[in-house]
């Protein structure tokens, strides 16, 4: 028997990386999954992966910074599967990177819209449906960058810190409804948001990440999917308002914190500018 049998989940940013890995895991545990992303090709492929893993899934294209799109996403879950039990706010971008004085207001606002406003919108529009079924679980992808600083990642750090504390305040508000609100703080996860699907970069990142943290390997989407499954399932029914760190020991000892994102790193990210969705070149 699956740990999510009979449950319905929305997972944003699930065409690739952490979201896709989690969608496949949830489907294998019995959940019906609404895949959502701007990447249509990747989203439809993720639906096929979920079905091959024994689950039900549909794809909905959505811009997570748009309130209308989030409302439509929740409506799609209800139309297709009749209820909503789990929301995983996972969609993200690198956002504006580089020296703080060089970041434009426009790039700052775009970063915050995707990384923080989307979490607010997801929570806002999912709780009413969760109340109807007696409760639910809201999960968001924060980051270790939300609990300490990284050079050159100013909007990202600020937004992820916001996700951590929004998780806490929302958990207080919705505990009476048996709606649990938690977030996951991943460490170095080798996903397309870093390697941009550029030849050889994914493999180079594996080795570079392995050298920088106590558990000497790069993190993978499956590592975060396991934590998300715990938070989505009844195993965590007394857990709310928490920022669960899943980082291979990165936050207890690493040389990464003092380096800008381009320093000695094989990442395909530019040293400055705005980094959008991972499927965009």
HSE (side-chain half, CA atoms, 13 Å) at 174: 28
Is 278 a domain residue? no
State the average pLDDT for the chain: 91
Is 208 a domain residue? yes
pLDDT tens per residue, range 170-201: 999 999 999 999 999 999 899 876 666 677 77
Sign of CA dihedral 15, 35, 66, 159: negative
pLDDT tens per residue, range 30-53: 999 999 999 999 999 999 999 999
Please report the pLDDT score of residue 1 as a whole number: 64
Q: How many domains does the chain have?
A: 1
Q: Catalytic annotation on 156?
A: yes
Is 277 a domain residue? no
User: pTM of the full predicted structure?
Assistant: 0.89
Helix (H) or strand (E) holding 75, with range, is helix 67-81
**Residue 243 pLDDT greater than 50, yes or no:** yes
The residue segments making up the domain with residue 157 are 8-272
Following DSSP, what letter does each residue of 111-175 receive, concatenated?
Answer: HHIIIIIHHHHHHHHHHHHHHHTT-EEEEEE--GGGTS--TT-HHHHHHHHHHHHHHHHHHHHHG
Is 224 a domain residue? yes
The one catalytic residue in 88, 156, 230, 274 is 156
Is 71 a domain residue? yes
CATH number of the domain to which 242 belongs:
3.40.50.720
Please, which pLDDT band fits residue 276 given cuts at 50, 70 and 90? Answer: confident
């Amino acid at each position: 028997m699956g740990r999510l049998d009979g449950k319905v989940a929305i997972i944003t940013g699930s065409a690739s990386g952490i979201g896709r890995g989690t969608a496949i895991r949830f489907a294998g545990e019995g959940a019906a999954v609404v895949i959502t992303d701007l990447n249509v090709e990747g989203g439809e492929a993720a639906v096929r992966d979920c079905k091959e893993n024994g689950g039900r899934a549909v794809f909905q294209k959505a811009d997570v910074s748009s309130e209308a799109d989030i409302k439509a996403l929740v409506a799609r879950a209800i139309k297709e599967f009749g209820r909503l039990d789990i929301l995983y706010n996972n969609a993200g971008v690198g956002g504006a990177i580089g020296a703080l004085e060089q970041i434009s207001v426009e790039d700052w606002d775009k970063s915050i819209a995707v990384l923080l406003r989307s979490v607010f919108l997801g929570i806002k529009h999912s709780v009413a449906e969760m109340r109807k079924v007696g409760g639910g679980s809201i999960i968001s992808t924060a980051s270790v960058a939300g609990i300490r600083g990284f050079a050159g990642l100013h909007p990202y750090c600020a937004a992820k810190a916001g996700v951590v504390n929004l998780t806490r305040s929302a958990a207080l508000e919705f505990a009476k409804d048996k709606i649990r609100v938690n977030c996951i703080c991943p460490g170095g996860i080798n996903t397309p948001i870093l390697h941009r699907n550029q030849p050889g970069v994914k493999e180079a990142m594996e080795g570079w990440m392995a050298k920088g943290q106590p558990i000497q390997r790069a993190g993978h989407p499956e590592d975060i999917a396991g934590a998300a499954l715990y938070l989505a399932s009844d195993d965590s029914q007394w857990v709310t308002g928490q920022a669960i760190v899943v980082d291979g020991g990165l936050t207890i000892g690493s040389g990464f914190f003092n380096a800008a994102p381009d320093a000695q790193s094989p990442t395909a990210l530019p040293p400055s500018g705005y980094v959008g969705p991972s499927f965009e070149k």
